[in-house]
Amino acid sequence: MSALADGGFQVFGLTPWPLAFWLAAIFLAGIVRGYSGFGFSALCVASLTLVLPPAEVVPVILVLEVAASVGMLPQVWRDVDWRALAWLILGAVAATPFGVIFLAQVPADAARVAISLLVLAACGLLLLGYMFRRDHGAKGILATGCISGLVNGVGAVGGLPVVIFLLASAASAAATRALLVAYLLLTDVYATGLTLSQGLLTWELIGRWVIALPALFLDIALGNRHFLKAPPESFRRFTLSLLIVLALLGLLRALLI
């Protein structure tokens, strides 16, 4: 678990300060995940890649995302709209390859800037009170899944279009959160399978996952407790604010890093 290398104490390849930063980032992002049902990956990757290579961050965060969703699923099970989930997954699976193809043709940073600007524009409309005038049904949900798949293939932020669609609909806070948890569980299991097939998850990274789990499950419990106590309108405000923060982080990453 630990070793002396280059004169320093290490835990699974992390010296004390990066280790502390690793746990603090996961702790804060985990509370957000427990409350809102999304945002964990984007917050962790944006912060942790400041001190660690992406190849050491993304595989572990994906597995932590799966653990977070598994931990939250019993709490939200009754509120999951399984029919909507099926249409979302169908659209995402169908469209993700096209997003990957698009990414191969367009610079990644340009794609991230475009996605971030679109998210900010959608948030602006939602802040101004825009809501869908009618239920878009299966076609609207399928289209949202397709957009999510495209965005996921291009920028690995496929959950954001789903959040925007749900906020613009008449979905309750509990239904929105539940659908996000179930949707992210399935998409993250798929992404984790890809990382395993490529040999990206080493034993050292698995060790980092293990030491982060206690903090993560504590976070989920704290975030869930706050969700149960908070009024529905505060969930909407927080979710919109989080979307804006994530879009701005995407812009900064594309323009400055």
Residue-wise pLDDT tens digits, 90-113:
998 888 888 767 766 777 677 778
Are the CB atoms for 92 and 149 separated by under 8 Å?
yes
The pLDDT, as a whole number, for residue 98 is 82
CA distance 44 to 22: 9
Q: What is the mean pLDDT of the chain?
A: 83
192 with 66: CB under 8 angstroms?
Answer: yes
pLDDT (mean) for 119-145: 84
Mean pLDDT of 185-189: 86
d(CA 161, CA 103): 18
Which candidate, 249, 218, 225, places its Cα nearest to that of 45? Answer: 249
CA 194 to CA 75: how far, in whole Å?
A: 28
At residue 150, the pLDDT reads 82
pLDDT (0 to 100) of residue 160: 83
Cα dist from 39 to 32, 44, 226, 249, whole Å: 7, 9, 16, 12
Q: What's the rounded mean pLDDT across residues 198-221?
A: 86
pLDDT of residue 3: 46
Distance from C-alpha of 211 to C-alpha of 11, rounded to nearest angstrom: 9
Report the C-alpha gap between 192 and 199 in whole angstroms. Answer: 11
* Residue 179: per-residue pLDDT: 93
The stretch 189-209 carries a mean pLDDT of 81
Helices (H), 106-136: 108-127
User: What distance in Å separates the CA atoms of residue 81 and residue 115, rounded to the nearest whole number?
Assistant: 27
Statement: residue 4 has pLDDT above 90: no
- Tell whether the model's pLDDT for residue 189 goes beyond 80: yes
Please, which pLDDT band fits residue 154 given cuts at 50, 70 and 90? low
The answer to whether the beta carbons of residues 100 and 153 sit under 8 Å apart is yes
Report the alpha-carbon distance of residue 154 to residue 109 in Å, rounded. Answer: 10
Whole-model pTM: value is 0.82
In terms of average pLDDT, the best of 81-95, 105-119, 158-172, 194-208 is 81-95
What mean pLDDT comes out for the span 71-78? 92
Report the candidate in 93, 80, 42 with the shortest Cα–Cα distance to residue 176.
80
74 and 132 in contact (C-beta within 8 Å)? no
pLDDT in tens, 19-62: 888 889 899 889 999 998 888 888 887 788 778 887 788 788 88
- 2: pLDDT confidence band, cut at 50, 70 and 90? very low
Q: Look-up: residue for tokens 């806070």? A: 173
- Cβ of 67: how many Cβ atoms within 10 Å? 18
In whole angstroms, what is the distance from residue 81 CA to residue 53 CA?
37
DSSP H or E stretch at residue 4: strand 2-5
Angle (CA) 205 210 216, round 5°: 115
The tens digit of pLDDT for each residue in 224-237 reads 998 988 887 888 88
CB 247 within 8 A of CB 119: yes
Judge contact between 246 and 42, C-beta under 8 A. yes
